Amino acid sequence: MTRHIVARVGEVPPGGRKRVAIAGREIALFRLEDAYFAIADRCPHEGASLCAGMLTGLAVSDGPGDYGLTREGEILRCPWHGWEFDIRSGRSWCDPDRLRVRSFPTSTAHGADLVRDAETFPVTVENDYVLVEIASADLHDAVVAGRRLLADRILLLELAHAGGGRLPDFLPGAHVDLHLGAGLVRPYSLCGEPMPDGHWRVAVLLEPASRGGSVAVHALRVGDGLRVGAPRANFGLVGGARAHCLIAGGIGITPLLGMAQRLARLGEAFTLHYCVRAEAAAAFLPELRQPGIAPSLRLHDASAGQRLDIEAALAAQPVAEVYVCGPARLLDAVAAAHARLGLPAARLHMERFNAAVAIGGAPFVVEAARSGLRLEVPADRSAAEVLVAAGIAVPLSCEQGLCGSCLTPVLAGEPEHRDSVLSPAEQAANRVVALCCSRARGTLVLDI
């Protein structure tokens, strides 16, 4: 278990809340009187943000299937389907016999009724800081259960738990680290929604000129074993949105496939723009042309002159949450069009597969508070490199500020953020820093 600083004492007022990202996980911190409580900011039903939900404490009758809520302001209601949770315990408030949550059915993607509690985390207060304790990222032994080419240079792997159990569930848009041997660790998006048998699907475009990850994945064969990390949700659907606009470029369809499937199943309003150089290079077309998604799919085939008019697509859905994944030029073009139209920046969500990050800069000092070390980071090395060389474990994967593996709590100092995983608000808060690429001005004190 690792403790992470999430707030200063007094920063969250009584009855208030704060949403934080810790090592790629989203946590909702609540303060009830003088006590703090932390809940995973994902409803276990459909993954909506619980921090966007409403606090309530309604007293109701004791009739069959009714609630017995008595503590005012301590019940959290999910904004999507009305699931309600006790903030103190994470308990789901519903009748376990009737499997009903105040006027809303509870069902999974595969039709099985269930009731699940929200995930909670221990909270402590020390030295004017509020800390949340989270288990370290688990590694799982997996085996390649299937492989096939989806399109030109795109390989689909099906991964199963090596011990015959289930791999962890995940939310649409999540990614995982694949440990490919010889110290090579690379993050890849999980495709689609969770499968009934607990298997995962990963689709990888072969890029011979890349840093080796795609070549290693394409070399895997059925029966080969590998280790995989726990799913991380840095890029996911926003609960309670009036509409959704999904824009994928090439292999960028991988995280958006599951989002489209989830939205179609829920009957949510969405449009999926899929930009490809040619239809032969498009992945998952049979799934995207299923009845649930097909009416919302817009395929833009560049070889046929069918290029996406980005500004027109955004203007057609001015209230939509926009999700983009693909080449850097597509993301940059969408961001520029979004800004020109004056749309709220908070509604634009992007995931990059690679980034040109400048590691170098002025030298600075890192203090590893828990390790008791004070180290100088020279102009041509990253903080992660220096810490690892000193024997301090730093989780690394993309090494480009994209995946969130190396996000580390900041105790003091001013980071110079260069990552693409933290939002502008999270960067301005200076609570965590991506050690693989970001630097600092002066001395940076880390909880590591």
Which CATH number do you get for residue 117?
2.102.10.10
| Domain that includes residue 384, residue range | 364-446
- Please report whether residue 338 resides in a domain: yes
In a domain, 41, yes or no: yes
The answer to whether residues 174 and 198 touch, using CB atoms and an 8 Å cutoff, is: no
According to the model, what pLDDT value does residue 56 have? Answer: 64
Torsion of CA 107, 121, 191, 166, to 10 degrees: -70
Residues in the chain: 448
Considering the domain architecture, whether residues 181 and 249 belong to the same structural domain is answered as no
The residue out of 104, 119, 134 marking a domain boundary is: 134
Residue 434 Cα to chain centre, angstroms: 15
φ, ψ for residue 425 (rounded to 5)?
A: -65, -40
The pLDDT of residue 23 is 52
In a domain, 235, yes or no: no
Residue 239 lies in a domain: no
For the chain, list residues with pLDDT below 70. 1-5, 21-25, 55-73, 93-116, 127-128, 135-138, 211, 354-357, 397-398
Given this model, what pLDDT does residue 115 score? 52
Residue indicated by tokens 């040109």: 356
Confidence (pLDDT) at 4: 67
Same domain, residue pair 128 and 172? no
Domain end residue (candidates: 352, 383, 402): 352
Residues 100 and 184 in one domain: no
**If you ran DSSP here, which 8-state letter would residue 255 be given?**
H
- Are 385 and 441 members of one domain? yes
**Which residues touch 73 (CB under 8 Å, ≥6 apart)?**
15, 32, 55, 56, 57
| Domain contains 147 | yes
Beta strands at 321-326 and 348-352: parallel, antiparallel or unpaired: parallel
Residue 354, pLDDT score: 65
pLDDT at 57: 59
- Look at residue 321 and tell me if it is in a domain: yes
pLDDT of residue 22: 62
Q: What's the pLDDT score for residue 61? A: 40
Q: Report the pLDDT value the prediction gives residue 356, as an integer from 0 to 100.
A: 60
32 vs 194: CA distance, rounded Å = 35
Tokens linked to 260: 């489209």
Looking at residue 410, which CATH number applies to its domain?
Answer: 3.10.20.30
Residue 236, CA atoms < 13 Å, CB-side half-sphere:
24
Q: What total of structural domains would you count in the chain?
A: 4
Q: By C-alpha distance, which of 315, 332, 328 is closest to 245?
A: 315
Q: E strands along 287-363, which residues?
A: 297-301, 321-326, 348-352
Q: Is the pTM of this model over 0.75?
A: no
Question: Which of 203, 229, 255 is the last residue before a domain boundary?
Answer: 229
Indicate whether 237 belongs to any domain: no
